[in-house]
Structure 1
Amino acid sequence: MYDRILLPTDGSDAAIAAEDATFEIAAAHDATVDVLNVADTARDSVTNVQGEVVDALVSEGERIVEAVEERADERGVTVRTAVLQGDPSATIADYASEYDVDLVVMPTKGRSGLERVLLGSVTERVISSTPVPVLVLNPDADREFAYPFERVLVPTDGTTAGDRGVSAGSAVATGTGATLHLLTVVEGASLGPDVRSAGTSERLTAAAEEVLEQAREQAVAAGVETVETATEHGQPYREIRSFVEEPGVDLVVLGVDDDSEFGRFLWGGVTSKLVRTSPVPVLLTGQSTAE
């Protein structure tokens, strides 16, 4: 399932939490972990000075990746290390493509301690610029990371992005033996009073069930053994969060729409809210190289 996993790290506590999860996944699949630190030489404060500052960034990066390598050795995980200079997001995305990485693991926070999944952050730009699936971990989540996954949730709306999510979720389910939960939400609350009616609700529900049936057929064709489907009515974010918390789902998978800005992949801002607040990891997947 995974042969090579990329772990970008800045040495922060959040990065170390992502490191632990990465080692669990790598150990389960006998995968190699590429530990990458990027010395951010794209900033004016760095590029406008001579070698000493850049050298200090590189030296710090080397210290960080060596520490990760030592911890990996203790866990019996094989790693490769690299310290590169450049723009962090572009460098990470380029590395993932150049070295045929199967998965990128990143936290929602960096050294600043701020949530940095949204609004121009490194994680956002990596997700938007690489076809490699990105597993995003919230280091403040109160639920412990557990691998292999047992219950995988894929919210889908029948769009291309939704189909990508189903494909990625199916791959995880077949690779780990997990139950795949397919969910769609009928957003009736957004309809005006002159539009809401029993007939409208029935049509929306019927359309949602058709989406789920197509997704179920896609998952079964991909080899998923156990598939469960559900249709909920209400606000998508709330219904998905409720679903995550109640059945004990331990991974959410979302497809990325190439034509949308981050945070608008699925039902408007649902993706951005989920990534920031999900108690379980979120796997985001963009356009595959096969498309």
Structure 2
Amino acid sequence: MFKTILVPLDGSPMSEQALTLAVRLAQSHSADVHLVHVHSPYTTTPITIEGLPVIDEELRSLAATHELTYLRQLAASLPISDHEPIIARLEGPIAFALNRYCYDIGADLVVLTTHGRNGFTQLWIGSVAESLLRSLHIPLLMLRPSPEMPEPTPFRHILVPLDGSALAEQILPHAVTLADQEGAELTLVRVIEGDPNTGPGGVTYRPHENTLTAQRETAQVYLDRLTQDLLARGHPAHCRVVAAEHPARAILATATDVGADLIALATRGRSGLSRAILGSVADKVLRGGNLPVLALRPSEMG
């Protein structure tokens, strides 16, 4: 269960779209919700509150007053009965401040609306979300912004891409928790190499049919085992093996095909500020799709 949910807010209606989902999960899990704003002295669009001046009589900025009033007003408007929302105004680099706060409160889920544009070659996740994915080992539930406040509709079908590794499987408990709460079914998918590929020197090769058959059978046995385990524990689950040249595109196409409304996956990669933490497949799924994504940086310790 998710017990402590953090929602980063920047004062924009777009960031507030994450509140609907966060509130629904908090109600279901009897979880604490933390509404957090990180003050940025460089923002060109500071939060304004109707009826409050921007500066005081000594020409000092009232940014802190505005930001705290904004958080208090949001907290008071949320229909959470079990626990009153907790508000926090932080200072410092945004991603660093959020990261530190997550550890301080023991957050086990971050729900946020991402900034960005569609397309494999364009930015999907904002810099804050990507920085959190690099540094946290708790799931981030990232939502696409929409022109209007989204309806509070539960997720009904969650697609979980797996690659056969224990690292990738670390997303499963979180996906199951969300599926149980939302009344959703799970589809596990594994993509195997199935189309012509370009090797060294630009030489195009096609995997041998026997190799493809062996890969498919191995992947099917793997997914069947996981699926049967989920079914035995009462979780509605299915599985698919897909042969494709481009795994990320195959994952997105499978999500459309099965009617998924959420993709849950573990990112892969290496730690360190100078290295990309997102694996190439996860990165393309995050940047190329329109669905909400539950993403987790797996821990080497499991």
TM over 0.5: yes
Q: Percent identity?
A: 24
The runs of 4+ residues in structure 1 deviating greater than 6 Å are: none
2:256 corresponds in structure 1 to: 245
Moved more, 206-215 or 98-107: 206-215
> What SS is found at the alignment partner of 2:77?
helix
> What SS is found at the alignment partner of 2:242?
strand
Bigger CA radius of gyration: 2
Unaligned runs of 5+ in 1: 44-51
1:278 corresponds in structure 2 to: 289
Unaligned runs of 5+ in 2: 44-57, 117-121, 199-203
Choose the corresponding residue for 2:75, options 59, 66, 69. Answer: 69
The CA deviation at 1:282 is 0.5
1:227 partner amino acid: A
The CA deviation at 1:143 is 11
2:145 corresponds in structure 1 to: 139
Count of aligned pairs between the two proteins:
273
Choose the corresponding residue for 2:237, options 214, 222, 227. Answer: 227
2:28 partner amino acid: A
1:109 corresponds in structure 2 to: 115
The verdict on how the C-alpha distance between 1:145 and 1:276 changes in structure 2, with shifts beyond 3 A counting, is farther
Q: Deviations over 1:154-177 (max 9, x none)?
A: 011112332112232223233444
Q: Deviations over 1:140-191 (max 9, x none)?
A: 3999565543211101111233211223222323344421110011232253
Moved more, 232-241 or 191-200: 191-200
The verdict on how the C-alpha distance between 1:33 and 1:264 changes in structure 2, with shifts beyond 3 A counting, is closer
> What SS is found at the alignment partner of 2:187?
strand
Q: Distance in 1 between matches of 2:181 and 2:96?
A: 29
> What SS is found at the alignment partner of 1:140?
coil
Q: Is the 8 A contact 1:156 1:182 kept in 2?
A: yes
Moved more, 6-15 or 187-196: 187-196
Q: Deviations over 1:88-108 (max 9, x none)?
A: 111111111111112111111
1:34 corresponds in structure 2 to: 34
The verdict on how the C-alpha distance between 1:41 and 1:287 changes in structure 2, with shifts beyond 3 A counting, is farther
* TM-score computed with the length of structure 2 as normaliser: 0.78
> What SS is found at the alignment partner of 2:155?
coil
> What SS is found at the alignment partner of 2:190?
strand
Q: Is the 8 A contact 2:159 2:187 kept in 1?
A: yes
Q: Is the 8 A contact 1:174 1:224 kept in 2?
A: no
Cα RMSD of the aligned pairs, angstroms, is 3.2
User: Relative to total residues, which structure has the larger helix share, 1 or 2?
Assistant: 1
2:162 partner amino acid: T
Choose the corresponding residue for 1:81, options 70, 80, 87. Answer: 87
Q: Is the 8 A contact 1:173 1:224 kept in 2?
A: no
1:23 corresponds in structure 2 to: 23
Q: Distance in 2 between matches of 1:199 and 1:152?
A: 32
Q: Distance in 1 between matches of 2:30 and 2:42?
A: 35
> What SS is found at the alignment partner of 1:246?
helix
* TM-score computed with the length of structure 1 as normaliser: 0.80
Q: Is the 8 A contact 1:6 1:36 kept in 2?
A: yes
